[in-house]
Structure 1
Amino acid sequence: MPIANVLTIAGSDSGGGAGIQADLKTFSALGAYGASVITALTAQNTRGVTAVHAPPAAFVVAQIDAVFDDIRIDAVKLGMLANAEIVTAVAGALRRWQPRHVVLDTVMISKSGHALLTEDACIALRDTLLPLATLVTPNLPEAAALLGVPAATDEDEMVRQGRALCALGARAVLVKGGHLGGAGSPDWLITADDEIRIDGIRVDVTASHGTGCTLSAAIAALLPVLPSVEAAVVGAKAYLTDALRASGQLEVGGGVGPVHHFHRWW
């Protein structure tokens, strides 16, 4: 097939490590052409988020319509959506354009602990975007927030919460186990027919800013060219692991630095 065109609908990270910037770097590193719709501007660096500005929801829709009206989009990655109005507007636009693949990264809190999604937006996301998603990629706190339950503390509970999210309409859920602690970092891919444990090693680095954005963007880049969601998840995890391992080659900021998206090229 031709080179995949992948659209990210997310917030901008002025420090370059997460959000739109991380998504576009990831798309390029994995051989996809990236387009973008900006849902929020953040004043952000490796130490934290100091301000957020969200454009009107109608302008977000105008960006989406401009892209889809001209460009064949093979997959969409959804990241920070800021507020309920933008969440609802994005859901309406996706229902109109009906992209084949939608990867929903449930961005709620930044690495520094800054809230990136309002409570009413979390409800809107659960009710309007989950049913449109090919894959949802929550970490343990995000899965718990979507379900209104305590965060999972073991893998059995991860699977149960993944099943509950599928019951809300998502075709597949990748429950990320990084918050469990321990030597490994197992994820569980839950579909209507299967429960698949995807092993992962815990990479001991301090530079981990943008890992969630990077993983979901990598899955979106690989979905159009690989035979299954599982294959895309496995490939994306391998890419992220190498990007984490190589993060020490970068000298970016005095806080939590970014992963090295172009570790294969630089």
Structure 2
Amino acid sequence: MSFDFSALLVLLTVVSGVIWAFDSAVLAPGRKRAIEEAQRTGEEDAENVPVLVEYARSFFPVFLIVLLLRSFIVEPFRIPSASMMPTLLIGDFILVNKFDYGIRLPVVNSKVLDLGAPERGDIAVFRYPKNPETPYIKRIVGLPGDRIAYRDKQLYINGELMPQETVGRYETNGSGNDMNGAILRQEDLLGMEHHILIDSDRSGFKVDTVVPEGHYFAMGDNRDHSSDSRFWGFVPEHNLVGKAFFIWMHWDGGIEWSRLGTIE
């Protein structure tokens, strides 16, 4: 079973908030009356706040702020696989914009405010349709109503070939170095240019399909080493988490400062 940090954060926020509120409404007035009575009789008495209440007072604001930021503003993720190379590398730590695709309630993921939808070329984080507890990250290539075809390792959108230009052979260090020697190409995704990797030793997977309403077609930039919509189907709009926009850290045995910055 996957660890649901959002559910834990909601639980901690609610529990600490309830403890603090209960103390403020029920227990604190009694302690205040005891102190006033002690002062009238000339006795010294300090407010004896239970340890649990002290912790709740201290951590509730922290839990609440983190919950609001993580649920509605920005959420951090770490890239664990090579499926988005060369754009994202194993060990990249990214930030994901949580409001571009609409405001959603944590845990239940229900949209409460519609602020926008994915655009073609976006690098989106979403909950894997076959196991919603697992976050995936891919590039959105097909919008609702698009006809998507993939053959001979080339992408077609509504019958139009997305041009590819060979840049050279890919070379890198670190955990993704098994991709060294792959063909590095620049693809023009209807005006949005980005790099992809092609493995000439692997056969291509053919696809010809129409994206249904309320769904998206997502592909990894490492085209021959990505489990994506070609294999398991479309991404439902309900599964969207947000748009990746910034690499804030890269750790793969050491910090690589050149990786820090906006995502291609």
- TM-score, normalising length: structure 2: 0.24
Judging by fraction of residues, say which structure has more strand.
Answer: 2
Larger radius of gyration: 2
Judging by fraction of residues, say which structure has more helix.
Answer: 1
- TM-score, normalising length: structure 1: 0.24
